[in-house]
Amino acid sequence: MALVLTEEQSMLRDSARGLISDKAPVAHLRGLRDSKDATGFSRELWKTFAEMGFSGLLVPDQFGGSGLGCVEAGIVMEEIGRTLMPSPFLATSVLAASALSRGGSEAQKAQHLPKIADGSLLAALAIDEGAKHRPLQTKLQATRAGNGFKLSGDKAFVVDGHTADLLIVAARSAGSAGDKNGLTLFLVDPKARGIAVERTAMVDSHNAARIVFGNVEVNADSVLGEVDQGLGLLEGVLNIGRGAVASEMVGLSDEVFGRTVAYLKERKQFGKAIGEFQALQHRAAELYIDIEITRAAVLKALQALDTDIAKAATAVSVAKARAGTTATLAVQEGVQMHGGMGMTDQFDIGFFMKRARVCQELFGDSNYHTDQLASGKGY
């Protein structure tokens, strides 16, 4: 498979870019932040996403979706990264759609996937518990009770957790923190008794929540996949999410870079454009190279996910690790090269810096994935 976009994929990119840059430039995020919008994204825009087929992009045809792959999801995420549009796309259309279509029973798929595709169902994946992403350390307890389970524990950093109609929750049904066996995924109604959702305002003005589960009763039908054997499904879904967030970071990095290079050509000091100074030229060139190499690594990972997800882990770790360091470099250089203007809230660059920091943490930062790569290679 060639490591370039096909004609169809380029067309998808163009239509996503057209819509997102038109309807949701950075000013869109700024407006939601300044008005302390209760939803934190535009439901109207989400409707348009559904009409254009984006919300059901990963949903199989027979459930009303487009049945496309991770490369296509990455294309949309990259465009989202360019304008930092807050959107249910990641939590609902990437994570939940993947979890359901890969691990769901026929009944679960039939119940939820068509609603994801038509934009009427919002979902969220509840994984993290501590300050850092450590899925194996999941402690939220699932105790057998009657025909089902009782869930108790805390989740944090649940993307879109405050607007979700459906939660997908990773819980420990056997063993103890750190064990590979004993993880189970559950489909949970956030309105169920015992659930407390606290929307957490984050540095990037995107949406996240802390959710407390206090003896929440769920029946046996709510298990997604197999009891105690949820890790394989979870890792697959997380890897798809990691590829998607890496794509978002490529879009984010590229946009910051473009704005920064434009500023280097326009800003004059000492009687000339600051882009004439070799000290800045070389840093700009290094950043360009870094972004292009990361772009290739991310596309490689997305293709690997579509080809054979079971063999994609290393490529995904490379992509997420690279995207994290590249985005960090891009936003730091972006702010620095914009000088004092880069420090102002009025300038958009700061929004990119804040979002990059959050994307780093989502589903494992660069350190986590670099460590995963080393462990995977056995050293």
Partner 1 sequence: MADLEKFRAETRAWLEQNCPPEMRKPMTSDGDTFWGGRNTKFSSEAQRVWFERMRDKGWTVPHWPKEYGGGGLDGEEAKIVRQEMAAIGARQPLTSFGISMLGPALLKYGTEEQKKEHLPKITAGLIRWCQGYSEPNAGSDLASLQTRAVGDGDDYIINGQKIWTSYANYADWIFCLVRTDPAAKKHDGISFILFDMASKGVSTKPILLISGYSPFCETFFDNVRVPKSHVVGTVNRGWDVAKYLLQHERAMISGMGERGVGRPLGQIAADSVGTDAQGKLDDSQLRSQIANFEVDEAALAAAAERAVDLAKAGQSHPAFSSAMKYYGTELNKRRYEILMSAGGIDALEWESDRSKGGARPRAWLRTKANSIEGGTSEVMLGIVAKRILDLPGA
The contact set with partner 1 (CB under 8 A) reads 2-4, 261, 264-265, 272-273, 275-276, 278, 281-282, 284-286, 288-289, 292-297, 299-300, 314-315, 317-319, 321-322, 369-371, 373-375, 377-379
**Shortest Å, Cβ 271 to partner 1:** 12
**Shortest Å, Cβ 228 to partner 1:** 24
**Shortest Å, Cβ 367 to partner 1:** 8
Smallest Cα–Cα separation from 108: which of 44, 188, 15, 198? Answer: 188
**Shortest Å, Cβ 274 to partner 1:** 9
Report the distance separating Cα 339 and Cα 349, nearest Å.
11
Nearer to partner 1, 21 or 325 (CB): 325
Nearer to partner 1, 10 or 181 (CB): 10
Nearer to partner 1, 14 or 286 (CB): 286
β-sheet bridge partners, residue 196: 212
Name the burial class of residue 357, with classes exposed (0-12), middle (13-18) and buried (19+) by CB atoms within 10 angstroms of its CB: middle
Nearer to partner 1, 71 or 319 (CB): 319
**Encoding tokens for residue 135?**
């899925």
Planar angle of CA 327, 329, 333, nearest 5 degrees: 120
**Shortest Å, Cβ 143 to partner 1:** 31
Nearer to partner 1, 113 or 321 (CB): 321
Nearer to partner 1, 167 or 315 (CB): 315
Smallest Cα–Cα separation from 83: which of 19, 20, 32, 34? Answer: 20
**Encoding tokens for residue 314?**
């290393």
**Shortest Å, Cβ 300 to partner 1:** 4
Element (H, E) at 306: helix 278-307
Smallest Cα–Cα separation from 317: which of 304, 332, 327? Answer: 304
**Shortest Å, Cβ 54 to partner 1:** 25
Residue in the block written with tokens 């759609």:
97
Residue in the block written with tokens 């105690």:
228
Tell me the one-letter amino acid at 109.
Answer: K
Nearer to partner 1, 41 or 363 (CB): 363
Please answer whether residues 90 and 45 qualify as being in contact, where contact means their C-beta atoms are separated by less than 8 angstroms: no
